[in-house]
Amino acid sequence: MMRPPAAPGSKTDYNALRAPANYVPGLGRGATGFTTRSDIGPARAGPVGGDGDEGGAAAGGDDDKFDEFMGSDAGMFAGGTYDEDDKEADRVWDSIDNFMDERRRVS
C-alpha cells in the first residue's frame, strides 16, 4: 500500500513506517560477522599445572619475562631495533603530549 507523499515542511515518523522486505538490522553500520561472549557461552577454566597450581611457571607461564615498567608485555618488541623512524615517531607523540598538556593548563 503506497502512502501519499508528506506535505513539504512536515516531519515523517520513521518509527511508524514498515521496514523493507530485505532489511537486516545493523547491516548498514557493519554490525555483522562478529561473535560475542553471549554466542559462545561462559568461559571454562584452563588446564591445571602438574603440581596442582592454577597455571604459572609450571604450566608454561611467562613469569620470568615480567618487567616492572612494561608489565607482562616486555618481551613483545624486545627483539626489534630502535631506528630513526621510531625516534621521529617518539618526537611527534611527545609534541602531541606537550600540546595536550598545554591545553589542559589553559582551560
For residues 58 and 94, the model is more confident at 94
Q: What would the pLDDT profile of 79-89 be if each residue is shown by its tens digit?
A: 678 889 999 99
**Amino acid type, 26:** G
CA distances, 18 to each of 30, 36, 57, 72, 91 (Å) = 22, 29, 59, 53, 55
pLDDT attached to residue 4: 75
pLDDT attached to residue 75: 58
Q: What would the pLDDT profile of 14-29 be if each residue is shown by its tens digit?
A: 888 888 888 877 777 7
For residues 40 and 100, the model is more confident at 100
Q: What would the pLDDT profile of 52-71 be if each residue is shown by its tens digit?
A: 555 444 455 555 666 666 66
The DSSP symbol for 14 reads: G
